[in-house]
Structure 1
Amino acid sequence: MSSSFHVGEQWVQTRAGVREKAEQIGNRMIRPFMSEQHREFFAQLPALLVAAVDSEGQPHASVLCGAPGFAWSPHAALLSIEARPQVDDPIAPLLHPRAAVGLLGLEWPTRRRNRMNGRIVESDERGFSVAVAQSFGNCPKYIQARNWQATPRLPGLMLEGDSLDQQWLTLVTKADTLFIASQSSDPQGGGVDISHRGGPAGFIEIGGDGRLWMPDYSGNRLFNTLGNLLREPRCGLLMIDFSSGDLLHLQAHAEVVWPEQYAALGVTPPPGAERMLALTPGRWMLRRSRLPLAFALPQFSPFLPKAGV
């Protein structure tokens, strides 16, 4: 029987003891087309998270913005996006016909999110269109609700470098939200994906080993991201400064760390962590004042784990 998941996802599902349940969920919710509800959902959004992969196989994550309606679905198997990244955006040269992409729509005030992965079939100076390979919804766990309004911003400097840098450490250590781009070239179920990760402010810590340590909480049990990282540990991180509109694009190498490894590595997991993700930082770009949206203070998710629980 064919599966909705590639071998990396299946391995993590088996390791977590949810293989059969995950297959049942996948067969029910992962579709090669968008439902009418999802088509309407994307057309309401002011921003769309995007993942793409460069010629060396390195995933990158970014965000595209426009007036609601800039993303729309002419029919259930296609999503059109009337927006192009700025020239210094790491995904700018990657959105070409036949390129695999991962898309994530997030309705910030309501915590709703839907994902769509596929390939670009058309691209021009106005935008691009993506043929649906996988479309499915995600639960609202760990998303911080934020009201937004469009705001013009004068783009600031673009800074870049390699490895840990003080210029972006404060953004990371205060963050409550991260987006991670990953990919698998597996012939069965492979592709590009972008996923949301959220937690209490400061849920990402800088370890003594120079890696970023992030808890992996209980989610939809499909393990799309971890399954991808098992097959291809390179990933692309996007972090947003919701006050200034700064965008941090960070390449990283990921290792999934299971509880039985904690003692040897000297790891003390935070409350609620089922496992940890250790991210070795690589090349980075910090693009100042780029997100043309202003956000109110967050309403933290009621699902966030609490100390001592």
Structure 2
Amino acid sequence: MSFSLGMPFHEGEEKMHRLLRVPPQDNPTSTMLTPQASNMFQRAPLLAFGTLDAQSRPWTTLWGGEPGFSEPLGGGFVGTRTLVDGKNDPVVQALIESAKEDGQMAKPPDGGKLVAGLAIDLMTRKRVKTAGHMVASTLRDVEDDTDASPAQQQLQLITKISQSLGNCPKYLNQYEIHPAPLSTSSLQSKGRSLTPSAKSLISRADMFFLSTSTPSDMDVNHRGGPPGFVRLLSASSLIYPEYSGNRLYQSLGNLLLNPKIGITFPDYRTGDVLYLTGRAEILAGQDAAAVLPGSNLAVKVEIGEARYVVGGLGFRGERKGMSMYNPGVRTAASEGNVRAGLASTTTTITAHLTKTTPLTPSITRFTFSLPSNSGFSYKPSQWVALDFSKELDSGYEHMRDADPLSLNDDFVRTFTLSSTPSLKANEVAEEGKEKEREFEITIRKVGTVTSFLHRQNASSGLHVLVRGVGGGMSIPPGTNTAMIAAGVGITPLLGQLTLLPLNTSSLFKLFWAVRSEDVGLVRDSFRRYPGLAGRTVLFLTGPAVEGVVKEDFRGKGARVDERRMRRGDVEGVRADEWFVCAGKGMRGEVVGWLEGRRVVCEDFDY
């Protein structure tokens, strides 16, 4: 019978725990190949594997296609036999570097070559990490296979496992894996800068595998999220968020001691693969949020070498499902993320909810007030960032299936200000003589924070922290302009309607698409801003609206069509500038209609 001894955390892991204030905990890593790990090797169709090259640079690869290509041999040894890209796979090349001739066994000296692996089944969302040393390996040509690429060879590998650890299923997107020949494998590019193909792969990727090491230890693991969760900072640098996990910080602990990192991005559809090696920088707290807004922890990677291999994977995969724990994509500050400036905000301004005005079953106007000496001011159509973490953040949990997205939510939201600051206040706000005391937001109930807000009323005593104000879609008064809005996309306009001439000689035009259940928002807007109806073409979709409501809108001067907006509705309209505020789908369609014209877009993506 074998026994696993307790394994302490190393210096880097302990430093990460102190940095992130992780309570004391035992290291669950086993000092042997556990039965769980042995079973996983036999069941997993994929094995991510990492090692160091002759320059001590870590590389990561991904092998497999079907279960059974790796199996325990007894005594903590694991045997692996699989088809690989022997010519272009940097891990394979590093494993056989001690072989004197092609096909000869490679036996590294001094107790073996440092290696680590991750046996993973993406369909069942199970994975087991292992680490140890390579005992021996051979690489031979594939015989009697006329379809084989010159690069396709068979790798046989024996490793001695000294560590193993099962990991949780979070952020594992499901793929059904099947074998595929390496018949088209070829090295497309090699260098420090990413090619267009490499950038495209990263922009689509919903996972990657990484290797890190210390002088005596190595780690391979998975990082997953929504497609695009890894962001490019330049042609030779990228950044990714570290989502809430098990708080062991084994990979990051290694990086604190040794910043070298190896990453591989697989393209399961095409079989292409991108290998990277470089140096990582761990960003925590405000440092992380300044580069990747919305993140409390992130890793920035400077690429030392990138290799893009066409058809370099011996398998293909079909996506079957996304992890319910995946948060939304966080764009980098350098990409124009509107929350970029919030990271350094030290404001303690607090807004108090004083009034709620339901407009439709899912849309409500919320009025907040602030102290007169708060220093808060804003301009028409800007957004305000509000922090609801005090009300909604329930602290750390490893798993939270009932509300998985909350684990990575900072509960900071940006809302367009639908109120108009008085002209006097605007004039003196910049001089610091008088500040706004009140603001309004008009929002739809669509998520955790907005659902929470819709449960509040003036007597709730709700106070929220104001993190900042910014942005804005300013429509110049008296100009020949037009706006296309969908639903609550009208809010940037509401904040500046008192500044726009809306009489019969006005050149402004509004094309407003609204679902029939939201006519209450239309009714309220036409009532509060006389003259708006006369400048509006209203498109109603969904169940039929009562005739009296439509006649009321028409009586105020609006044109009402019960159908979707079409290209022909805007083709003949003359406007020097178009403003568009709609969801992503409609926005893309409308911008296509307005090709060749000057268009300013406001969206709900943040």
TM-score clears 0.5: yes
Contact kept in structure 2, 1:35 and 1:76, CA below 8 Å: no
> What does 1:84-99 correspond to in 2, within 5 Å?
85=84, 86-95=86-95, 96=106, 97=108, 98-99=112-113
Residues 129-150 of structure 1 show CA distances to partners (whole Å, capped at 9, x for unaligned) of 1111111101111110111222
Correspondence for 2:305: 283
CA distance in 2, matches of 1:305, 1:220: 17
Correspondence for 1:183: 213
Letter in 1 for 2:88: D
The number of equivalent residue pairs is 296
Q: RMSD over aligned Cα, in angstroms?
A: 2.2
Correspondence for 2:76: 77
> What does 1:290-301 correspond to in 2, within 5 Å?
290-301=312-323
> What does 1:1-309 correspond to in 2, within 5 Å?
3-21=7-25, 24=26, 26=27, 29-65=28-64, 67-75=66-74, 77-83=76-82, 85=84, 86-95=86-95, 96=106, 97=108, 98-125=112-139, 126-159=155-188, 160-185=190-215, 190-207=216-233, 211-262=237-288, 266-270=290-294, 273-306=295-328
CA distance in 1, matches of 2:66, 2:194: 35
Letter in 1 for 2:299: L
CA distance in 1, matches of 2:182, 2:132: 31
Residues 118-170 of structure 1 show CA distances to partners (whole Å, capped at 9, x for unaligned) of 00123234512111111110111111011122233422320212223323101
Structure index of larger Rg: 2
CA distance in 2, matches of 1:81, 1:233: 29
Residues 91-132 of structure 1 show CA distances to partners (whole Å, capped at 9, x for unaligned) of 123225310101001101011000100001232345121111
CA distance in 2, matches of 1:167, 1:210: 14
Long gaps (5+) in structure 2: 96-105, 140-154, 330-412, 414-447, 449-606
Contact kept in structure 1, 2:33 and 2:162, CA below 8 Å: no
1:290, CA displacement in angstroms? 2.1
CA distance in 2, matches of 1:268, 1:44: 37
Contact kept in structure 1, 2:114 and 2:133, CA below 8 Å: yes
CA distance in 2, matches of 1:30, 1:39: 15
Residues 51-107 of structure 1 show CA distances to partners (whole Å, capped at 9, x for unaligned) of 000122110001222642210002251111123641221112322531010100110
1:45, CA displacement in angstroms? 2.3
CA distance in 2, matches of 1:40, 1:295: 22
Contact kept in structure 1, 2:49 and 2:60, CA below 8 Å: yes
Question: Match of 1:230, SS?
Answer: helix
Cα pair distance change 1:122/1:157, threshold 3 Å: closer
Question: Match of 2:82, SS?
Answer: coil
Contact kept in structure 1, 2:130 and 2:164, CA below 8 Å: yes
Quick one: higher RCO (CA 8 Å, sep 6+), 1 or 2?
A: 1
The alignment's TM-score, normalised by the length of structure 1, stands at: 0.89
Contact kept in structure 1, 2:241 and 2:292, CA below 8 Å: no
CA distance in 2, matches of 1:278, 1:235: 11
Letter in 2 for 1:257: L
Contact kept in structure 1, 2:66 and 2:178, CA below 8 Å: no
CA distance in 1, matches of 2:60, 2:277: 9
Long gaps (5+) in structure 1: none
Contact kept in structure 1, 2:210 and 2:263, CA below 8 Å: yes
Greater CA drift, 5-14 or 61-70? 61-70
Correspondence for 2:403: none
CA distance in 1, matches of 2:16, 2:191: 33
Question: Match of 2:319, SS?
Answer: coil
Greater CA drift, 205-214 or 283-292? 205-214
Contact kept in structure 1, 2:65 and 2:316, CA below 8 Å: no
